[in-house]
Amino acid sequence: MNLSLYSGATGMEAQQLSLNTIANNIANVNTSGFKKSKIEFQDLLYQNPRPVGGETGAGNIVPTGIEMGNGTKVVSTARVFSQGNLTQTSEKMDFAIDGIGFFEVERPDGTPSYTRDGAFKIGPNGEITTSEGLPILNGPNNFPPEATGIFVAPTGLVSVQLGDGTIQENGQFQLTRFSNPGGLRSLGGNLYQETPASGPPEAGLPGENGFGSIQQGYLEMSNVNVVGEMVNMIVAQRAYEINAKSIQTSDEMMSRVNNLKR
């Protein structure tokens, strides 16, 4: 059996998935709080017509064997949770996490999810929500309608200025972290969900015990490096082409064998 046909086909499929991942990264280059994915490959099982270490008689051992590979496969599309650049927006309801942590959000079905996107809004009842209207958990209290200013310290402590000029505290942000953030499930909408692989959520105050601080008036941008992704795209394209070439070459060799009788 000509294994090069099947190996080349697995290579083409793997590079197509790699290109899909790269395209998604580039598409979200301006998405607040987006974390890029990197694709990881593994080689497939090998055929061993002559196993290494076999005996050839008289106590002799085969120093090297024959192993025929069967191609490659995608084993993971891991999220890279490196820090994105903080961009100043000067909006009072924009918050960036500088360091480790997530904001906790309540989904419509009542389950929690987590996000790094701090582009928040104030709801009709003074509650703080995401751009999709999802309420923020472990955050400040409802803002009074007469509030004229909102101030958030790096520690997450929230203060509001009332119409008469007085300032009062109005709760505090808490952040959540995971032992393995790469194990979170992506839900879309800049949201992640806990899984058995991520470990249980751990809540804490910003700036304490390794949690990041909160920067008001800033947004964390995507950690996608466009130049790096363009290079990865070229590499994936060339790898796809050379795998296709190996299939074409194998087909030509088989065609020549079939034509020997002529």
Q: At what angle do helices 3-27 and 226-258 cross, to 10 degrees?
A: 160
Rounded to whole angstroms, how far apart are CA atoms 14 and 209?
41
User: Do residues 222 and 84 lie in contact, with contact meaning Cβ atoms separated by under 8 Å?
Assistant: yes
Give the pLDDT score at 127: 86
Give the pLDDT score at 180: 94
Give the start-to-end residue ranges of the domains of the chain. Answer: 3-81+224-258, 86-220
Give the pLDDT score at 2: 75
Rounded to whole angstroms, how far apart are CA atoms 16 and 22?
10
pTM of the model: 0.85
Give the per-residue SS3 of 9-21.
Answer: HHHHHHHHHHHHH
Rounded to whole angstroms, how far apart are CA atoms 191 and 102?
10
Give the pLDDT score at 222: 95
Give the per-residue SS3 of 29-97.
Answer: CCCCCCCCEEEEEEECCCEEEECCCCEEECCEECCCCEEECCCEEEEEEEECCCCCCEEECCCCCEEEE
Tokens 């083409």 sit at which residue?
12
One digit per residue, the tens of pLDDT, for the chain of length 262 reads 577 888 888 999 999 999 999 999 999 999 999 999 999 999 888 887 777 777 766 777 777 778 788 889 999 999 999 999 999 998 989 999 999 999 999 999 999 999 999 999 988 888 899 999 999 998 887 787 777 788 999 999 998 888 777 888 888 999 999 999 999 999 999 999 999 999 999 999 999 999 999 999 999 999 999 999 999 999 999 999 999 998 888 878 888 777 776 5
User: Do residues 218 and 87 lie in contact, with contact meaning Cβ atoms separated by under 8 Å?
Assistant: yes
